[in-house]
Structure 1
Amino acid sequence: MTYRVNSWGNGFTAEVTIVNRSATPVSGWTLQWAFGANQRITGSWNVSLTQSGRQVTAKNAAWNASLGTASFGFQGTHDGSNPVPDAFTLNGTACSVG
């Protein structure tokens, strides 16, 4: 998966792209991660997003549940520090950011 961020002042947008490189089809996905600072999501597109503290959960939309490649984005705020999140998991399995 990739995580691209555009940060300014105390705001940012991020684009996440997930690619299923497995031979096993994925029908329905949940991506979770942990923010490393005080980032807060204020809006999103192409995904259902929830946040509890630093933990974020992204669930597929109905039309992108069958995972080949899926992209989604969100906007948010931060308190001057906006590190790349860590602890990404896809359907409970750790995944790398690259």
Structure 2
Amino acid sequence: GNRSPRSATVTVTTGKDTGTPGAGCAVGYRVVNQWPGGFQGEITIRNTGTAGINGWTLAFAFPDGQTITNMWGGTPAQDGTAVTVAAASYTAGIPTSGSVTLGFTGTRAAANTAPTAFALNGTACTVS
């Protein structure tokens, strides 16, 4: 019978998790076509997490001041170079290992460099 000293107190919290368990994403960006002053682009959002996504907002910045003039698959808002895209009703759900693709047309200057960082619902995505 030797007794060990009492262990430290542990605090456990139960209830609803307000985080985003299993969150993960990868974003692919490509220029489909371009012409003087304009271009067509495509963005593919992949759910690499362990849970489905129901509703999303994608954020990124255009490095060369490009602007989106029309988009399908989402609703864009732009403030200078900063862009946010809210899901359309038909692209809002992204199952685990699933993806959605957005298309858009835009204006550009001489350069048309791709964005280098994307965030989905505030979580940084891998750029693929």
Q: With the length of structure 2 as denominator, give the TM-score of the two structures.
A: 0.72
Moved over 2 A (4+): none
Number of residue pairs aligned between Structure 1 and Structure 2: 98
- In structure 1, list runs of 5 or more residues that go unmatched: none
Does the Cα contact within 8 Å between 1:39 and 1:79 map onto a contact in 2?
Answer: yes
C-alpha distance in structure 2 between counterparts of 1:63 and 1:7, whole Å:
27
Asked if the contact 2:45/2:101 (under 8 Å) is kept, the reply is yes
User: Looking at CA atoms only, which structure, 1 or 2, has the larger radius of gyration?
Assistant: 2
Match of 1:48 in 2: 75
Q: Which has the higher contact order (CA 8 A, sep 6+)?
A: 1
Identity of aligned residues (%): 44
What SS does the corresponding residue of 1:64 show, helix, strand or coil?
Answer: coil
TM-score normalised by structure 1 residue count: 0.93
User: Does 1:2 find its partner at 2:18?
Assistant: no
- Cα shift readout 1:39-74 (whole Å, capped 9, x = no counterpart): 111111111111110000011111221113111111
The secondary structure found in structure 1 opposite 2:90 is: helix
Higher share of residues assigned strand: 1
